[in-house]
Structure 1
Amino acid sequence: MTIATLFRRGALCAALFVGLAAAVPTAVAAQAAREVTKADFYVPGIAPTRAPKGYDVTVVYFTDYQCPVCRQHSDDVLRAFAEDRKLRVIFRDSPIFGAQSLTAARLATAAHMQGKYVAFHTQLMRTKGKLTDARIREAADLAGVDWARLQKDLAANASRIDALVDWNNRLSKAGGISGTPAFVIGEVLADGGMDYASLKAEIADARARIVRAR
């Protein structure tokens, strides 16, 4: 079984992957010395996560803040997430569009430490054109981010944040994900953009698979 077959529609496989040992967040540090399994996609570490009590389905969401398709569907995606009170979401910023994407991903993760990740994520996704330092700062201001605290949190947690971003990209590669956006919904990969209705349908399918498996 190849790496790309880790997630297939309808497949509930338990493939293993090698060669991914690297500096990773504290919560997954022990995994660096062994083979990586599908379960690692669902270990948040310091990744921004929404986990309501009693959740039944997890979505792992891979994005880049300069990805046109991510931006196009972002409001729909966040609406679907917000409405579903039984859904856990792990946000995995996976910057592939250059240096400013990486800068935005690092800052967004740091914003989570003041409870502003989703707000900052939303404003970054609504930014028009290529990201610049000024546009990132504007998005932070619109999201109500305390910029001074953001810089302190980023500096204090730089190694953990950088390790998380690297880990997200490695997970993406391991899962055979071709780009952003991508969703692991339950145990199935949905690779590409989805509007509100499509995402809701995929989540419903994931719940139905859980029921059938009982």
Structure 2
Amino acid sequence: MRLKTALLAAAFAVLAVPASADEFNPAQKAEIETMIRSYLLENPEVLEEAFGKLQDKRREAESAAQRQAVSENQNTLENSSRQAVIGNPEGDVTLVEFFDYNCGYCRHANSDLQKLIEENPNLRVVLKEFPVLGPPSVEAAQVSIAVNTVAPDRYAEFHDKLISSENRVDGAAALAIVDEMELDRAAIEKAMDADNVQTTIEEVYDLANSLNLTGTPSYVVAGNAYVGAVGFDTLQASINEATCGETSC
């Protein structure tokens, strides 16, 4: 606002105001430019204010584009045949998490996810394998997808064990949990070779790209996308929004 006032003051200060900027003569233009430069040098905080407004507009535009992408991809986000579902499969509120088994923030945030499930009996949680931290993460995701294919009723237990690991995990570490749980390793290894595994990972990569999700964990709930371990309170507020239309029910 101050910058606009300064510009107007500069224009009025130069004799009369022409109908358009193109009608300023060279002397008038030079005087206005000098006045504006002097004003900005004396009040540099105006530039900071203008830059802040620009950043706000960009964030608003990015957020709007992301919400639109969520809406356009909602069916794949929530109902893909290639996803794992924990919590209440028949729940009327769906939270989607994009995760990597080697992501420290994902491991830390798993306690938030478990608390959300415990405190929201109608919460349906969709887990998307999003291995972004190198080949070991891809290997672990391949085993995980195969477990969900062969023994979907044991997937939640498998996931909790693997995401709770304190060490970097890979295919071997994931298969060690398969053995620990006494699952059918031969069937799981066979499922790992099926096209479905790679197709599932590619589907998640495509979704993440469409939604501009740049890291793990990322969440989608109530039409909103969140990048990073935003915490229990933020996710609960969004669940409340989906449940009762308010951030606090």
Q: How would you bin the TM-score normalised by the shorter chain?
A: 0.7 to 0.9
Higher helix share: 2
Q: 2:131 aligns with which of 87, 95, 104?
A: 95
Of the structure 1 ranges 165-174 and 142-151, higher mean CA displacement relative to structure 2 is found in: 142-151
Equivalent AA in structure 1 for residue 161 of structure 2: Q
> Within 5 Å, which residues of 2 pair with 1:32-71?
37-50=73-86, 52=88, 55-71=91-107
In structure 2, the gaps of 5 or more residues are 1-59
Correspondence 1:7 to 2:66: yes
Deviating above 6 A after TM superposition, structure 1's stretches of 4 or more consecutive aligned residues are 1-4
2:9 paired residue number: none
1:4–1:175 Cα contact (<8 Å) kept: no
- Judged with a 3 Å threshold, the aligned counterparts in structure 2 of structure 1 residues 126 and 142 are, in CA distance, closer, same or farther, namely farther
> CA shift at 1:66, angstroms?
0.5
- Judged with a 3 Å threshold, the aligned counterparts in structure 2 of structure 1 residues 160 and 2 are, in CA distance, closer, same or farther, namely farther
> Within 5 Å, which residues of 2 pair with 1:1-214?
5-8=64-67, 13=68, 37-50=73-86, 52=88, 55-112=91-148, 113-114=150-151, 115-155=153-193, 158-209=194-245
- Judged with a 3 Å threshold, the aligned counterparts in structure 2 of structure 1 residues 210 and 58 are, in CA distance, closer, same or farther, namely farther
1:123–1:143 Cα contact (<8 Å) kept: no
Which structure has the higher relative contact order (CA within 8 Å, separation 6+)?
Answer: 1
Equivalent AA in structure 2 for residue 202 of structure 1: S
Q: How many residues align?
A: 186
Which whole-Å CA distance do the structure 1 matches of 2:199 and 2:239 have between them? 29
What is the percent sequence identity of the aligned residues? 23
Which whole-Å CA distance do the structure 1 matches of 2:220 and 2:183 have between them? 29
> CA shift at 1:39, angstroms?
3.6
Which whole-Å CA distance do the structure 1 matches of 2:175 and 2:181 have between them? 10
In structure 1, the gaps of 5 or more residues are 17-35
- For residues 166-197 of structure 1, what are the alpha-carbon distances to aligned partners after superposition, in whole Å with 9 as ceiling and x for unaligned? 11011011101111101101211122114444
1:6–1:176 Cα contact (<8 Å) kept: no
2:70–2:211 Cα contact (<8 Å) kept: no
Which whole-Å CA distance do the structure 2 matches of 1:183 and 1:120 have between them? 21
- Judged with a 3 Å threshold, the aligned counterparts in structure 2 of structure 1 residues 100 and 187 are, in CA distance, closer, same or farther, namely same
Which whole-Å CA distance do the structure 1 matches of 2:69 and 2:134 have between them? 32
- For residues 122-158 of structure 1, what are the alpha-carbon distances to aligned partners after superposition, in whole Å with 9 as ceiling and x for unaligned? 1111112222444223333444533223113323xx2
Which whole-Å CA distance do the structure 2 matches of 1:14 and 1:98 have between them? 26
- Judged with a 3 Å threshold, the aligned counterparts in structure 2 of structure 1 residues 110 and 72 are, in CA distance, closer, same or farther, namely same
Larger radius of gyration: 2
Equivalent AA in structure 2 for residue 7 of structure 1: Q
- Judged with a 3 Å threshold, the aligned counterparts in structure 2 of structure 1 residues 54 and 38 are, in CA distance, closer, same or farther, namely closer
1:22 paired residue number: none
> CA shift at 1:82, angstroms?
4.6
